């Protein structure tokens, strides 16, 4: 096995979180070094403990789900890192997150230099997340209450769309709001398994590619 190359960052961050992120980014199999570095730096810059009030702070530095209010969960960082690698996140991308929950991934994507929009069906989440994003200085993230399957057509198309909840049918996804060469990533439930799946729009239409099975909640 080839030795994993180190990833260097100038960000001052808790070493527990930095080491966790570095291990997960290297394991994510991101082929583009610029994307890999962007993912590492943006996740390092946004620790999870500020987005999961009530959870033990020590758990925020581990690859585990964190409980949120209303019975929701903050997804494991390994899954989110993998999703960011699959969309090849980079500066100036226009990204829509469906079901932004706590606002954590919105903050990460904005830190990566993306222009981020989010819709969330739970009004309590939408309001509290807006406040937390403002507290952290992410005033450019635009969020609203809405249903994920409807997307946000008025401000599309998007270079990437991220569904932060499991879907069982691609008809639940606003694929028509993808820009040319745009990518949508979602946990797709099929035959009793949840697999990371991407849809990419090209001149020939939209192609679906399915990846590994994951635990997602």
Q: Which residue bears the tokens 């993912």?
A: 39
- Write out the CATH class of domain 15-213: alpha beta
Q: Where are the domains of the chain?
A: 15-213
Rounded to whole angstroms, the Cα distance separating 193 from 59 reads: 26
Query: pLDDT at residue 56 above 80?
Result: no
User: What is the three-state SS of 29-78?
Assistant: CCCCHHHHHHHHHHHHHCCHHHHCCCCCHHHHHCCCCEECHHHCEECCHH
What pLDDT score was predicted for residue 6? 41
pTM here?
0.91
Of 69-78, 167-176, 180-189, the one with minimum mean pLDDT is 69-78
- Please report the pLDDT score of residue 174 as a whole number: 97
Q: What are the start-end ranges of the E strands in the chain?
A: 66-67, 73-74, 94-98, 115-120, 142-145, 158-163, 178-190, 193-202, 205-213
């Amino acid at each position: 096995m080839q030795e994993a190359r180190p990833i260097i960052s100038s960000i001052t961050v808790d070493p527990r979180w930095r080491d966790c992120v570095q291990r997960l980014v290297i394991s994510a199999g991101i082929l583009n070094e610029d994307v890999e570095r962007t993912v590492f730096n943006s996740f390092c810059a946004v620790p999870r403990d500020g987005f999961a009030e009530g959870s033990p702070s020590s758990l925020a530095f581990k690859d585990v789900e964190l409980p949120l209010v209303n019975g929701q969960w903050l997804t494991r960082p390994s899954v989110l890192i993998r999703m960011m690698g699959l969309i090849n996140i980079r500066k100036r991308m226009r990204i829509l997150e469906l079901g932004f929950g706590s606002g954590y991934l919105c903050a990460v994507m904005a830190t990566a230099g993306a222009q981020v929009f989010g819709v969330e069906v739970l009004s309590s989440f939408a309001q509290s997340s807006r406040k937390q994003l403002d507290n952290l200085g992410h005033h450019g993230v635009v969020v609203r209450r809405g249903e994920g399957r409807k997307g946000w057509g008025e401000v599309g198309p998007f270079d990437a769309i991220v569904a932060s909840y499991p879907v069982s049918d691609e008809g639940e996804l606003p694929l028509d709001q993808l820009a040319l060469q745009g990518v949508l990533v979602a946990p797709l439930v099929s035959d009793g398994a949840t697999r990371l799946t991407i849809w990419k729009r090209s001149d020939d239409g939209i192609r679906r590619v399915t990846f590994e099975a994951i635990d997602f909640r």
